[in-house]
Every structure is written in structure tokens, then in C-alpha cells.
């Protein structure tokens, strides 16, 4: 501190900042007596210099912190958005290639993004399944149209020739054959149309009984026997599909079994499945040909009995439509056994009255 004269006069007892000698001073005046005062002054130059240096340091620290924060934020943002970037790349790949088998990586990001990835993968799986089903349906329709056109050509040609020659009796036979063939084609198309929209509890025993009654009327020379429980088994299915399935199995057994043979129809339930067996005592089908016999318009070699080769395929299609399956084997009588299995679906037989 210095005591100087010539400073601007300031009030007694009050600290003031004044300028003198080319710099700023902080001064304080004290009264020593009635007519004397003392003024103490401290130069502010060193203080201002230290404050300037401190301000520069603070500003530099703030700028450095901002830069570091920006870099860290950018890194964390890229790290957080990496799963979204992978989602976008996967979506771009699907859009560019139409490849629905592409799956989005999941399990390596935040929970919300992993949930989104799982949802996208589920959606892609459903779309892929739908596309596969659509392609199979289109391929089936193409094959169906080709096969139907081929099979219809022969009776149509015969009908045309018989009409041209006036052979009305033969033309009537051809017309009946065409009617039956078209009916079977409709049944096959219905069976290959996919699962029914609605199902209902159906007594498979009642379906088999009705099919046996109808078969006895069409084929009086064949002995049809029905074996099974008094009621049931019950299945959740479409009644019309089960009816067509049973009638075609019995028709196939009657046409390709012995002319005066026996057809045994059995129903039952085991392991959560209801089954319908149709056994004939005909020549049967060699094991190597059984799978092929489930294809439309396929007939065994050397077969002379009437038929279109649609009976077993219709039964198989209707069984599949009901969520079941069909298998061919050897019957106890040495002929063909056709066995259909359909899920029971937790149903129980209706009580008998």
C-alpha cells in the first residue's frame, strides 16, 4: 500500500476506484483529526492481470469441455444409433432384393431397439411364410389347371365323336364321366384351398357311418362293415371336408378292391388323434408306389378298374385341410389300408341317448 497525494478526493471511510498516473487504484480515506486525513491506495494492475489470465484459463477450459462433450456425445450417439443403422441396412436389403429371409440382428442393443428388431423379424417371418404359401398356391393352381385340362380332353373328345355319329347312349356315358370328373376336380380344389375359416365339433363315427350307407347304395355287391365305438371320436373340423374324405376313401376301396370283396371301416382315438381306417381285400398297392398314389391323376400300373386317379388325392387334401394326415399300408386282408389321423382338439364324444 502507498500513501500518495494528488489523488482525486474521495469520501472519508468509503472505498473507491479512481484513475491516477495512467492506472486504476482502489483507495480509502481515513480521518486522523479534525483537519487531517490519510488516503491509502492500491494499484489494480496486478489484480486485473491475474483476473485476465484466470478468465483466459476459464474460457479455455470451457471450450475444451465443450469440444470433449461434443466428441463424447457424437461417439455415444453413434454407439446408440448403431443398432438402428443395422435395422435400416437390413430394411434396405429387403427392399432392394425382396429377400424376405433376411433377419435383423438383435440382442446387442438397448432393450427398446431389440424389441423393435424382434417385431421386425416376426413380421418378416410372417411375410416370408405368406409369400411361400402364395407361391405354393400358384404352383398348385398351375399344376391343377394343366392336369385338369389333360384329363378333360379325353372325355370331351369322346363325347364330341359320339355326338357326331349319333351314339347318344355312349355320349350320355361320356357326359356322366365328365360330370363326375368335374365334381372330383371341385372337391380336389376345395381340399387344396387351405384350412377352413371355421370349424365345428364333428363326430367322426357319424361321418363314417353316413359314408358307409352311401357306399352300400352305390356298390351293392361290396360288403361294407363299420367298426368302432358307439359315439365319437369327436374332432374340431369342417364336416363337409370329413364327409368328402371318407366317401372318397370308400369309393377308392370299392373300385380297386375285389368286385365282391369286403371293405372294413374302423374309427378310434389314441394319443390325442382320431383315426379312420379303410381296409379292403383287393390287390393293394406296392410300397414303392404308395406315396405316388397320393398325387392327382395317378393310377397304378395295369389297373383296369374305372376311376380318375383322384380318390386318394382328394382324401389326402381333405385330411390336410382338417389338420390331419393320411398314410397307406397293407390291410390285414392283404389289400390296401388307408388311415387318416385328425387332431382331436380336446373334444369328447357326445353322450348317447
**pLDDT single digits (tens) 219-265:** 899 999 999 887 778 898 888 888 888 988 998 899 888 888 999 99
The CA R_g of the chain, rounded to the nearest whole Å, is 47
Three-state DSSP string of 194-263: CCCCCCEEEEHHHHHHHHHHHHHHHCCCCEEEEECCCCCCEEEECHHHHHHHHHHHHHHHHHHCCCCCEE
> pLDDT tier at 349 (50, 70, 90 boundaries)?
very low
Of residues 265 and 185, more confidence is placed in 265
pLDDT at 5: 54
Residue partners of 29: CB distance under 8 A and separation at least 6 = 9, 10, 11, 12, 13, 14, 37, 38, 39, 40
Domain-located, residue 139:
no
Pairing of strands 16-20, 200-203: unpaired
Give residue-wise pLDDT tens across range 130-143.
888 778 767 766 76
What's the structural domain count of the chain?
2
Confidence of residue 353 (pLDDT cuts 50, 70, 90): very low
pLDDT mean over 3-20: 71
Residue 39 confidence (pLDDT) above 60: yes
98-116 mean pLDDT: 74
Looking at the DSSP bridge assignments, the partners of residue 202 are 235
Q: Which has more pLDDT, 306 or 136?
A: 136
- Average pLDDT for 24-44: 79
Widest pairwise Cα distance in the chain = 158
Q: Is the pLDDT of residue 317 over 80?
A: yes
Question: With bands split at pLDDT 50, 70 and 90, how would you rate the model's confidence at 1?
Answer: very low
Return the higher-pLDDT residue of 339 and 179.
339
Domain of 35 in residue numbering reads as 2-43
State how far the Cα of 339 lies from the Cα of 275, in Å rounded to an integer.
Answer: 7
Q: Are 93 and 99 spatial neighbours (Cβ–Cβ below 8 Å)?
A: yes
The answer as to whether 309 is a domain residue is: yes
Q: Could you tell me if residue 293 is inside a domain? A: yes
Strands 325-330 and 234-237: unpaired
Would you say 110 and 259 are in contact if contact means Cβ atoms under 8 Å apart? no
Domain annotation covers residue 205? yes
What CATH code is carried by the domain that includes residue 266?
A: 3.30.565.10
In a domain, 231, yes or no: yes
In a domain, 291, yes or no: yes
**Sheet containing 273-280: order of strands:** 223-227, 262-270, 273-280, 336-343, 325-330
Give the model's pLDDT for residue 129. 84
pLDDT digits (tens, 9 = 90+) for 269-288: 988 899 999 999 998 888 88
200 lies in some domain: yes
Answer whether residue 306 shows pLDDT above 80.
Answer: no
Query: What is residue 352's predicted lDDT score, i.e. its pLDDT?
Result: 47
Q: Is 70 or 302 the better-scoring residue by pLDDT?
A: 70
Does residue 330 have a pLDDT over 80? Answer: yes
Dihedral angle sign, alpha carbons of residues 103, 106, 109, 114: positive
**According to the model, what pLDDT value does residue 105 have?**
72
* CB-CB neighbours of 14 under 10 Å: 9
- End-to-end Cα distance, the chain: 124
Q: Distance between CA 309 and CA 250 in Å, rounded?
A: 14
The β-bridge partners of 20 are 23
Model pLDDT, residue 162: 73
- Asked, for residue 181, whether it belongs to a domain, the answer is no
CA distance 296 to 274: 25
d(CA 239, CA 318): 10
Under the banding of pLDDT at 50, 70 and 90, the label for residue 347 is: very low
- Supply the angle between the helices 111-165 and 168-191 in degrees, to the nearest 10: 180
69 burial level (CB within 10 Å; 0-12, 13-18, 19+): exposed
Instruction: Report the chain's mean pLDDT, rounded to a whole number.
Output: 79
> Do residues 235 and 343 touch, judged by C-beta distance below 8 A?
yes
Give the torsion through C-alpha atoms of 250, 139, 325, 211, to 10 deg.
-20
Position 92 confidence tier, pLDDT thresholds 50, 70, 90: confident
Checking if the pLDDT of 114 tops 90, the result is no
| pLDDT (mean) for 200-207 | 90
Amino acid at each position: 500500500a502507498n500513501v500518495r497525494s494528488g489523488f482525486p478526493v474521495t469520501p472519508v471511510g468509503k472505498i473507491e476506484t479512481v484513475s491516477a498516473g495512467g492506472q486504476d487504484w482502489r483507495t480509502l480515506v481515513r480521518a486522523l483529526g479534525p483537519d487531517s486525513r490519510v488516503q491509502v491506495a492500491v494499484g489494480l494492475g496486478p489484480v486485473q492481470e491475474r483476473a485476465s489470465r484466470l478468465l483466459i484459463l476459464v474460457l479455455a477450459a470451457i471450450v475444451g469441455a465443450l469440444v470433449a462433450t461434443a466428441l463424447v456425445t457424437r461417439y455415444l450417439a453413434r454407439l446408440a444409433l448403431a443398432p438402428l443403422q443395422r435395422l435400416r441396412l437390413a430394411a434396405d436389403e429387403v427392399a432392394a432384393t425382396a429377400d424376405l429371409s433376411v433377419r435383423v440382428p438383435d440382442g446387442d442393443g438397448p432393450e427398446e431397439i431389440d424389441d423393435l428388431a424382434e417385431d421386425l423379424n416376426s413380421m418378416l417371418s410372417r411375410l416370408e411364410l405368406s409369400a411361400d404359401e402364395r407361391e405354393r398356391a400358384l404352383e398348385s393352381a398351375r399344376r391343377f389347371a394343366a392336369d385338369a385340362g389333360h384329363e378333360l380332353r379325353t372325355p370331351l373328345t369322346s363325347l364330341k365323336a359320339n355326338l357326331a355319329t349319333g351314339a347318344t347312349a355312349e355320349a350320355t356315358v361320356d357326359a356322366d364321366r365328365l360330370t363326375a370328373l368335374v365334381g372330383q376336380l371341385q372337391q380336389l380344389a376345395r381340399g387344396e384351398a387351405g384350412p377352413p375359416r371355421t370349424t365345428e365339433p364333428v363326430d367322426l363315427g357319424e361321418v363314417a357311418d353316413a359314408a358307409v350307407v352311401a357306399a352300400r347304395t352305390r356298390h351293392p355287391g361290396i360288403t361294407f362293415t363299420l367298426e368302432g365305438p358307439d359315439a365319437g371320436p369327436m374332432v374340431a373340423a369342417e364336416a363337409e371336408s370329413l364327409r368328402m374324405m371318407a366317401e372318397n376313401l370308400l369309393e377308392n376301396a370299392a373300385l380297386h378292391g375285389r368286385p365282391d370283396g369286403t371293405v372294413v371301416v374302423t374309427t378310434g382315438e389314441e394319443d390325442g388323434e382320431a383315426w379312420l381306417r379303410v381296409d379292403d381285400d383287393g390287390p393293394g398297392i406296392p410300397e414303392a408306389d404308395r406315396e405316388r398314389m397320393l398325387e392327382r391323376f395317378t393310377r397304378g400300373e395295369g389297373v383296369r378298374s374305372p376311376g380318375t386317379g383322384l380318390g386318394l388325392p382328394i382324401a389326402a387334401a381333405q385330411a390336410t385341410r382338417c389338420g390331419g394326415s393320411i398314410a397307406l399300408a397293407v390291410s390285414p386282408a392283404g389289400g390296401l389300408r388307408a388311415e387318416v389321423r385328425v387332431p382331436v382338439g380336446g373334444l369328447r364324444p357326445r353322450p348317447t341317448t
